Amino acid sequence: MPRLTDDAVVLRRFDWSETSQIVWLFTRAHGLLRGVAKGAKRPKSAFDGGLEPLTRGEVGAIVKPDADLATLTSWDLRVVCWAARSSLEANRAALFSVGLLASIVSDHDPHPPIFDGLVGFLDALDEGDDPWGGAARFQWTALVDTGHAPQLEQVDALADAGDVMGFDPHAGAFTPDPGAHAHALWRVRSTTAAAVAALAGGETPAPGEPAGRVNRFLLSYWSWVLGREPRVARLLTPDLSTAPEPHKG
């Protein structure tokens, strides 16, 4: 039975019995790990500090090839994302990001860049960065690492041509404006596409509506890639979720 020790972020936690919990963790070297923490709710257990969502630490586990759940053996709590516990917007953005993560990665499939992006996002929240700008950065990191990042070479030229451009999700590429009656293509504001291109270049969307439009566009693209809208879409605040991007024919 393979044993592992790895850096991890707690994504979700569910009560399993009076004393035990089921925990979803995202680990740096082993990907998404779902396991049982037996005795985690007892006053004295091997899970130091508790397995709280949006905390980071070192996890120990035994992974059985024929079992759906690993057996968690230890937890060394190291970092708590305090901003997510003191700010509603930070909490929503963080839960949105970890919920999206749980939808796009498979069990035991490591994605170190996504792990590092998540850690950087949570650390930036504690440093006072804009929550939804950070969520957009995290979405982009995940798109790049999974090979789904849109092509951006034509964005500048298309933005100069008009206020609206198209986006072909099948090709992952921006196009000239297809018009109001387009069916296969989306219509996207040129300012939103430019903000996505700037995001790829290391810039963060401005707080408020600009960050909202970028998050809405990237989430719409994730929904197309996955074939469904992730449940975390409901965590977008009203100002973000009602941003009319993208326009679909």
The C-alpha atoms of residue 67 and residue 61 are separated, in whole angstroms, by 13
Q: The domain 1-80: what is its CATH number? A: 2.40.50.140
Bond from prior residue into 244 cis (ω within 30 degrees of 0): no
User: Tell me, what's the pLDDT at 237?
Assistant: 61
pLDDT at 49: 77
For the chain, give me the number of helices (H) and strands (E)? Answer: 8, 10
- At residue 52, φ and ψ (nearest 5 deg) are -90, 140
Token pair for 85: 């516990």
Residue 164 phi, psi (nearest 5): -130, 140
| CA–CA dist 51, 228 (Å, integer) | 29
CA triplet 187, 192, 111: central angle to 5 degrees? 100
Residues of the chain with CATH 1.20.1440.120: 82-249
In single-letter form, the type of residue at position 100 comes to L
- Which residues of the chain form CATH 2.40.50.140? 1-80
Asked if residues 151 and 173 have their Cβ atoms less than 8 Å apart, the reply is: yes
Residue 233, Cα to own-chain centre: how many angstroms?
11
């909202």: which residue's tokens? 212
pLDDT per residue as tens, the chain (249 positions): 589 999 999 999 999 888 899 999 999 999 999 999 998 888 777 787 789 999 999 999 999 888 889 999 999 999 999 999 999 999 999 999 999 999 999 999 999 999 999 999 999 999 999 999 999 999 999 999 999 999 999 999 999 999 999 999 999 999 999 998 878 899 999 999 999 999 999 999 999 999 999 999 999 999 999 999 999 998 886 555 444 455 554
> So what's the pLDDT on residue 130?
96
**Rounded-to-integer distance, Cα 130 and Cα 201, Å:** 18
Can you say how many angstroms the Cα of residue 166 is from the centroid of all Cα atoms in its chain? Answer: 25
Strand partners, 56: 9, 79
Check residue 44 and give its pLDDT.
78
CA gap 150, 219 in Å, rounded: 13
Give the pLDDT of residue 240: 54
User: What superfamily would CATH give domain 82-249?
Assistant: Recombination protein O, C-terminal domain (1.20.1440.120)
Q: Which of helix, strand or coil describes residue 91? A: helix
